C-alpha cells in the first residue's frame, strides 16, 4: 500500500499576487484526497526553523482576493548552505512531511532542486511578477503586476498631457525586461529600456525629441530597474539636452507586488496548485508546474534552473513600431 502523503507547502522569495490562490488550491486538493497538509511559514527559513502549522479547509477560507501570502515569505541565506538544507530536511522528517510544494521565483526553484537532489519529493509552482522563470509562459502574479503598471501609467498620462511632460516610469525587472516591454505596448510608451538591450541616454532623448516634433503632447518612457541607465540619470540627461518636454520621474517600486490578484492570476494559481498536488499523488516530483500553450505541464527542475528566460524580442520590436 502506498505511503500516505503529508504535504508541506511554502512560499519563498518575493511575494506575488495569486500566491494565496495557489496555497488554497494545494490545501483543498490535498484534503479532498485524504492527505494532511502542513503550512510552512517564512519560506525556507521557516522550513529550517520548523515553523509548521496544520492546514484545514478553513485555514484557506476567504484568501482568494488577498495579495501577498498568508504563509509569509523570506529570503534565507542559511538555506543556501548545505548545513541549512540538511537542517531543513531533518525538520521535515521529524514532522512526517513526505512531499513538498514550493511556490516562488527563480531562487525558490533553485532551492527546490537542491532538496530534490537530496531525495525530497518536491514540486515547484512559479510565482514571480517579473515573469523571469524559464519553463512557463507566465508566472503567478505577472498579470496583476502588469495591470497595476497599466493603471498607474494611464493616470500619469493624464497629467503628462495637461502639462506637456515626459514621464519616466521605472518598473521592476532586475534581470528581465518583460514588464517594461509589455507595459510599453499596452500603455503606448515612446521608449522601453530593458536589461537585455543597451541604449544610451542620448538615444532616448532623441526619441523623446522626435515625439515632441511630431506634435505629441506628452511622452512616456518605461525603464526596467535592471536596464543599463538609471532613471535618475536618464531624467537629468533629457533635461540637459532640452528636447521640448521637461521630465518627471515615477518609481513604482513595491506597489507592483501588491493588490488583489486578477481573475487570470487566481485561475492560473488554482490550476497550478491542483496539478502540483496531483503530481505528488502520481509520484512525480523534481518538477515545476508550467503553463505551456493552454495546458499546465511539468518541467524538470534541473531544466528550469539551468536555462534563463529571455524577453521575447518580437514584443520589443513591436513596442518600437507602435511608439510612433
Give the model confidence (pLDDT) of 60-109 as tens digits: 999 999 999 999 999 899 999 999 999 999 999 999 999 999 999 999 99
Residue linked to cell 483543498 = 28
Helices of type H across 33-123 = 43-49, 82-95, 106-117
pLDDT of residue 44: 98
Rounding to the nearest 10 degrees, give the CA dihedral for residues 204, 206, 209, 215.
-90
Catalytic residue among 15, 130, 132, 143: 130
Question: pLDDT by residue (tens digit) across 46-65?
Answer: 999 999 999 999 999 999 99
**Region 274-297 average pLDDT:** 97
Place of cell 513526505: 98
Number of other residues whose CB lies within 10 A of the CB of residue 89: 18
In the residue annotation, 130 being an active-site residue is answered as: yes
Reported confidence tier of residue 2, pLDDT bands at 50, 70, 90? low
Model confidence, pTM: 0.95
CA distance 322 to 35: 52
As a whole number of angstroms, the distance between CA 167 and CA 221 comes to 6
Cell of 122: 518536491
| Distance of alpha carbon 287 from alpha carbon 283, whole angstroms | 11
Looking at residue 137, the DSSP 8-state letter turns out to be S
pLDDT tens by residue, 115-156: 999 999 999 999 999 999 999 999 999 999 999 999 999 999
- Which phi and psi (to 5°) does residue 244 adopt? 115, -45
Q: Count of CB atoms within 10 A of residue 248's CB?
A: 15
* Burial tier of 37 (Cβ tally within 10 Å: 0-12, 13-18, 19+): buried
The pair phi, psi for residue 11, each rounded to 5°, is -115, 140
Report d(CA 306, CA 195) in Å as an integer.
Answer: 19
Grid cell locating 322: 507602435
Say what the pLDDT of residue 161 is. 86
**Cβ–Cβ under 8 Å, residues 44 and 72:** no
Task: Give the residue among 9, 205, 201, 215 at the shortest CA–CA distance from 95.
Answer: 9
Distance of alpha carbon 247 from alpha carbon 239, whole angstroms: 7
Close Cβ partners of 238 (under 8 Å, ≥ 6 residues apart): 166, 168, 201, 204, 205, 208, 245, 247
6 DSSP assignment = E
Q: Is a pLDDT exceeding 60 seen at residue 305? A: yes
* pLDDT confidence band for 1 (50 / 70 / 90): very low
Task: Give the span between the Cα atoms of 176 and 128, in whole angstroms.
Answer: 11
For the chain, the maximum distance between any two Cα atoms, rounded to a whole number of angstroms, is: 76
In angstroms, the CA 112 to CA 85 distance is 10
The single residue listed with the C-alpha cell 494545494 is 26
Q: What is the DSSP letter of 127?
A: B
Q: How confident is the model at residue 4 (pLDDT cuts 50, 70, 90)?
A: confident
Residue range 22-28: mean pLDDT, rounded: 98
Q: Which residue is it, cell 508541506?
A: 8
Helix axes 19-32, 263-281, angle to 10 degrees: 40
Q: What are the cell numbers at 81?
A: 548552505
Amino acid at each position: 500500500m502506498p505511503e500516505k502523503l503529508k504535504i508541506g507547502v511554502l512560499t519563498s522569495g518575493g511575494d506575488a499576487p495569486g500566491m494565496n490562490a495557489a496555497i488554497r488550491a494545494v490545501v483543498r486538493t490535498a484534503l479532498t484526497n485524504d492527505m494532511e497538509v502542513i503550512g510552512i511559514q517564512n519560506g525556507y527559513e521557516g522550513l529550517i526553523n520548523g515553523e509548521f502549522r496544520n492546514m484545514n479547509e478553513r485555514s484557506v477560507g476567504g484568501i482568494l482576493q488577498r495579495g501577498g501570502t498568508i504563509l509569509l515569505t523570506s529570503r534565507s541565506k542559511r538555506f543556501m548552505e548545505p548545513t541549512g538544507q540538511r537542517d531543513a530536511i531533518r525538520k521535515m522528517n521529524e514532522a512526517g512531511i513526505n512531499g513538498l510544494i514550493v511556490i516562488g521565483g527563480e531562487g525558490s526553484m533553485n532551492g527546490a532542486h537542491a532538496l530534490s537532489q537530496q531525495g525530497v519529493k518536491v514540486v515547484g509552482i512559479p510565482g514571480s511578477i517579473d515573469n523571469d522563470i524559464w519553463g512557463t509562459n507566465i508566472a503567478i502574479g505577472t498579470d496583476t503586476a502588469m495591470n497595476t503598471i497599466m493603471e498607474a501609467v494611464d493616470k500619469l498620462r493624464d497629467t503628462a498631457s495637461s502639462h506637456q511632460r515626459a514621464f519616466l516610469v521605472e518598473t521592476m525587472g532586475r534581470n528581465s525586461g518583460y514588464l517594461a516591454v509589455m507595459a510599453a505596448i499596452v500603455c503606448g510608451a515612446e521608449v522601453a529600456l530593458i536589461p537585455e538591450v543597451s541604449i544610451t541616454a542620448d538615444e532616448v532623448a532623441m526619441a523623446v525629441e522626435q515625439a515632441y516634433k511630431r506634435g505629441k503632447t506628452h511622452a512616456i518612457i518605461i525603464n526596467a530597474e535592471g536596464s543599463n541607465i538609471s532613471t535618475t540619470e536618464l531624467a537629468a540627461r533629457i533635461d540637459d539636452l532640452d528636447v521640448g518636454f521637461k521630465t518627471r520621474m515615477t518609481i513604482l517600486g513595491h506597489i507592483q507586488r501588491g493588490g488583489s490578484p486578477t481573475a487570470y492570476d487566481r485561475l492560473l494559481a488554482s490550476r497550478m496548485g491542483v496539478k502540483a498536488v496531483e503530481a505528488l499523488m502520481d509520484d512525480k516530483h523534481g518538477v515545476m508546474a508550467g503553463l505551456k500553450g493552454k495546458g499546465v505541464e511539468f518541467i524538470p527542475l534541473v531544466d528550469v534552473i539551468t536555462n534563463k528566460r529571455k524577453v521575447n524580442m518580437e514584443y520589443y520590436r513591436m513596442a518600437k513600431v507602435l511608439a510612433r
